[in-house]
Amino acid sequence: MRQAGTYSGILSGGISGRTGPHSLPLARIKKIMKKSGEDVKMISGEAPIVFSKACELFIKELTQRSWMVTMQGKRRTLNKEDVTSAVVATDIFDFLVNLVSEDSGNTVDATPLEMDTFTSSS
């Protein structure tokens, strides 16, 4: 089973930057952390490791929510608009709203009331 290999991966790989059991490259995570602000100077070895797990959980949650939108549309391909919808619909993803709306080039209406006003033309 791969659990034994996973453990030995941690021991030998440690925080050397191997993707091994962490599934996301630690060096890259560290780079992104450093870019987040001028004040970020010293990062402990375990911080990227925690992030590698946290990012995995984040990706999974975002994907699951996006897939629900895909299914509602009776489609089998998860596209960017599904991700955008999931972001808009989830409170804790509020920090992403500007990011996903910039990407699509559209301003995303987080308040459905406004949309109803615009569409009720009859």
Partner 1 sequence: MEGESHGNVPHGPNKRSPESPCVKSSGSSNNNHPDNNNKEQDRFLPIANVGRIMKKVIPSNGKISKDAKETVQECVSEFISFVTGEASDKCQREKRKTINGDDIIWAITTLGFEEYVAPLKLYLSKYRDIEGEKLNIPKQQRSEQKQQQQQQQPQQQQSEHEHNLPYNSSVYSSTNLLSHHPSFVPSDQPFSLPFSSNSIQKQLQQQDQIDSMGHW
Residues that bind partner 1 (CB under 8 A): 1-4, 6-8, 10-11, 14, 19, 21-25, 28-29, 31-33, 35-37, 39-44, 46-47, 49-51, 53-60, 62-64, 66-67, 70, 76-80, 82-84, 87, 91-93, 95-96, 99-100, 102-103, 105
Q: Show Cβ contacts of residue 90 under 8 Å, excluding neighbours closer than 6 positions.
A: 65
| Most distant pair of Cα atoms in the chain: their distance | 68
Query: What's the closest the beta carbon of residue 72 comes to partner 1, in angstroms?
Result: 14
Nearer to partner 1, 95 or 118 (CB): 95
Query: What's the closest the beta carbon of residue 67 comes to partner 1, in angstroms?
Result: 5
Residue 82: how many other CB atoms lie within 10 Å: 21
Nearer to partner 1, 80 or 109 (CB): 80
Distance CA 109, CA 115 (A): 7
Query: What's the closest the beta carbon of residue 120 comes to partner 1, in angstroms?
Result: 31
Distance CA 115, CA 11 (A): 54
Nearer to partner 1, 59 or 110 (CB): 59
Q: Residues 108, 88: contact at Cβ < 8 Å?
A: yes
Nearer to partner 1, 28 or 114 (CB): 28
48 burial class (0-12, 13-18, 19+ CB within 10 angstroms)?
Answer: buried
